[in-house]
Structure formats: C-alpha cells, structure tokens
Amino acid sequence: GGGVRIGGAVELIREISKIGSLPAFPTWNALDIITSDFENYGGRIGTYGGAGRNFGIQNSDLILAVGSRISGRITGGNIHTFGREAKKYVVDVDRALLQPKLQQVPFDVNIFCDVKIFAKKVLLRLQEEVTAENFPKYKEWNDQCRDWRIRFDPVRKEMFDSGSYKFEGKEYTHPYAFTRRLSEKMDDNSILVCDLGGTSVVVGHAFETRFGQSYLTNNGNAPMGFSMCGAMGAWMADPSRQAVAIIGDGGMILNIQELQTLINYKINIKIFILNNHIYGITKAFQETNFDGRCEACGPAGYNPPNFVKVAEGFGIKTFSIENNTQIDQVIDQILAHDGPAVCDVNNHEYHTYEPRIFGWNTPIEDMYPYLPRDEFLKNMLIQPVEGWEEPAMPDVVNVNSQAGDMATKTME
C-alpha cells in the first residue's frame, strides 16, 4: 500500500519480492510502487480486481500486508471469504489499525513496526535463507500469478478496433483502449493524477505504470474534482516533469473554475476528461443494487456542458477524441503541445467497469463477467465458497466478454 512510499521503503519492498520471487499486489495507492513493468507484479486486487481477477491473492497460503489498510474495497463485503486459506500478517505504524476490533479483516499476526525497519530485517533474512534449492518452489508460484495477470488482462485487443465501441450506430472511444494507449505514450518520469469514481476504476484497470512514474490520487475521502488541482500542484512542485490529469465529466464540473488558474500561472498540465455524460459509477451501482432504479446520475438530473467550448472560453488549447480511430493521433498532439491543454474524450454512458464483483457479498475471485464454471474451477487451487458454485447472472446488463459486444437493457 501507499504507506510503503510514506515510510521510504519502496526499493526495499521491491527487493524483497525479487529475492524471494514473491508475487506483489499493489493497492490503488501503490500503483507506482509495484508497477506494471515489475518482474513480480502479480496483478491488481479488490472488488474491481483488474489484471488477474484476484486469483493470485485468493489462492495464496500467506498474505503479508505492508503499509496498507485492508479495506472493504479490497475484501468485498463478505470479509471471511478474503484470503480464506491464507495466514495473514499485517505491518503498520498506526496502532489503531492493528486493533482487532477496528480491523475490517481479522489478521493472524499484527506487527507494530515502521515499514522501513521491518523491510530491512526481512530482506536480511531472505538474503541468508533463499537458496538455489528452495528458490524454484517460490518461482513456480510467482510464474502462476504472472500467468493469471497476463491471461486475465481487462484490456482486450478488440477494444482498440475501429467500430468496436458503437451504440445505436454511433462510435465512441473505449475508455480502456484510450487509457492503455495514454499509459504507453506518457514519459517514463511523468506524473499521473487520477480522479475518483468511475475514472479511478478505468485507470486502475487499464493504465500500466512504469517505475519512475508517479501515480497520485486521493482515495482517502475520494473527492471528485481532485485530479486537476492535484496535477497543478504536482507540476508546480517539479515543472521539469510531464504532469497529466485524468478526470471524469462530473469531477471536472466541480473545479472547472480552476481553468483560470492554469492560465494565470501558465501551468503546463494536460487534462483528459473521460466524458461519459453521466455519473457513471453511481449509475452502475444503482443499476446493480436498486433493480435499475436510477436517480440524479444522468441523463435525467445531470447534464454536463460542452467542455471544449468552456475551455476555449478560458483561452486554453483544446482537443477532442470522438472514437477509437483518433486515440493515437490526438494523444500525441496534446502531449507534444507546449502549454496547458484540455482533451474531451467521448465515452458512452454504458460501461460495466469490468471485471468487478457483482453484489457486495460476492467472493472477490469470482468476478463479473463470470468465467465458465469449468474454467473458473480450473483456476481455483483452494475450495470455492460453498453455495457459490453457480452465481446468479445479472439481468440489468448483457456483456459478451469474448466478442466485446455490449448492449444495454431498456430502462423504463
């Protein structure tokens, strides 16, 4: 978790993983610590699991949480199914987070220690005890987690195709395709500041970090609109680095007045608006949990402005990406532009934020869209949760994961 960075133990934790050939799973606050190019990166975890679909952490026999509060967004609502056959250790410098009555998940061993001190001691023991004889055993498990991560990448090839994200005859930009391309094109030492809500899910699934980049967000209280202002502060702290904000249309409205600040202080950041014209994650939650009864999330009760015209009114250079065919060219243009810029990325309101758990009490290894039961069982090294052999398929959305075909159910 992000506490590893605060404690100054990034290099130590990465070295522990390397020496022990131990798969490492970053929380969303640690995407620039255990990066996508890290050799032992095991995938992303939680209720919006991302690469690997949580098979690695759920099939493990030991979980070591370092600098991370294991929250409900990691475990899901049925906390007893999280890492249920693993012995769990947690290391934290905050005594409150080590009190069993305050922990979301009961840990077997609570270690009150500064993460840097702890990491140094563990690294010393590993250097003494990892031998040529026992190393292959650990490597085999690490290779298995890598296989899950690669095989179950949320970003699929067909998402980049022209016309693959079409609704009622109109083409849109697939948010995963855009985000993956942006991650490939940003500088090696760039700073990405991510907004909250559905934007954080898209970035958590599709943005691949490289070591040397900085990933900043505010998952503590999750204020929409944070990323634009956060990117301003990041650039002003170090103007030599490329600074990019990814923000949703809902978040953009909350701090839209700060576009004047960009002009006043000539702040050279690039703002990409993932514009799905609704409160996307709110609508997805309402459709899932309230039988499709949606309120105040759009298009009724919410309608964003034309961000290109608004930004032009402030005198800011603007770009737009209407569909998949424009992704590469426009990203190149905006990143090359000398000065602040705003890019409106046209997304459709329908997005399932897959993979994700469907229902708060779902075991996090069984993510929607559900795998065929035989394939799911092949990837389970531990016993599936009793009574979860045949999860109920949702009837609000219909997603063909293999073909990438998507359709919405008409809501009255």
The answer to whether 310 and 256 have CB atoms below 8 angstroms apart is: yes
State the Cα angle at 196 between 272 and 44, rounded to 5°: 100
Residue 120 lies in a domain: yes
Q: Nearest 5°: phi and psi at 18?
A: -65, -50
Q: What is the β-pairing status of strands 317-321 and 341-346?
A: parallel
Out of 204-208, 232-236, 370-374, pick the least confident.
370-374
Work out the average pLDDT over 302-328.
95
In this structure, are 177 and 131 located in the same domain? Answer: no
**Helix H or strand E segment including 275:** strand 269-275
Write down which residue in 151, 168, 200 finishes a domain: 151
Residue 122 lies in a domain: yes
Q: Nearest 5°: phi and psi at 247?
A: -140, 150
DSSP 8-state class, residue 385: P
**Band (133; pLDDT cuts 50, 70, 90):** confident
User: Token pair 């759009």 is at which residue?
Assistant: 298
In this structure, are 161 and 106 located in the same domain? Answer: no
**Helix H or strand E segment including 63:** strand 62-66
Tokens of 327: 């992704």
In this structure, are 123 and 198 located in the same domain? Answer: no
**Helix H or strand E segment including 117:** helix 115-129
**Band (248; pLDDT cuts 50, 70, 90):** very high
The answer to whether 84 and 19 have CB atoms below 8 angstroms apart is: no
Q: Nearest 5°: phi and psi at 160?
A: -85, -15
Residue 194 lies in a domain: yes
Counting the structural domains of the chain, the total is 2
What is the reported pLDDT for 269? 98
Answer yes or no: is pLDDT of 402 > 50.
no
Q: Give the pTM.
A: 0.89
List the one residue out of 223, 177, 174 whose CA is nearest residue 196: 223
Cα gap 329→307, rounded to integer Å? 20
Q: How far is CA 26 from CA 10, 60, 221, 378, in A?
A: 12, 15, 19, 25
Write down which residue in 346, 373, 397 finishes a domain: 346
Express as a percent the part of the chain with pLDDT over 70: 92
Cα gap 193→341, rounded to integer Å? 15
| CATH number of the domain where residue 8 is located | 3.40.50.1220
Residue 71 sits in which domain range?
3-151
What is the reported pLDDT for 405? 37
List the one residue out of 242, 245, 235 whose CA is nearest residue 266: 235
In this structure, are 177 and 106 located in the same domain? Answer: no
What is the reported pLDDT for 4? 97
| CATH number of the domain where residue 202 is located | 3.40.50.970
In this structure, are 266 and 147 located in the same domain? Answer: no
Cα gap 91→96, rounded to integer Å? 12
What is the reported pLDDT for 279? 77
Highest-confidence segment of 36-40, 100-104, 135-139: 36-40
**Helix H or strand E segment including 112:** strand 109-112
**Band (350; pLDDT cuts 50, 70, 90):** confident
Q: How far is CA 3 from CA 312, 324, 360, 399, 404, in A?
A: 40, 37, 26, 37, 37
Predicted confidence (pLDDT) per residue in 199-230, tens digit: 999 999 999 999 999 999 988 777 889 999 99
In this structure, are 164 and 139 located in the same domain? Answer: no
Tokens of 252: 């953009």
CA dihedral 200, 203, 204, 206 (to 10 degrees): 160
**Helix H or strand E segment including 183:** helix 175-185
Work out the average pLDDT over 59-71.
94
192: three-class secondary structure by DSSP: strand
In this structure, are 278 and 321 located in the same domain? Answer: yes
Q: Nearest 5°: phi and psi at 345?
A: -105, 115
List the one residue out of 286, 164, 149, 252 whose CA is nearest residue 208: 149
**Band (396; pLDDT cuts 50, 70, 90):** very low
Cα gap 14→61, rounded to integer Å? 20
Write down which residue in 328, 346, 364 finishes a domain: 346
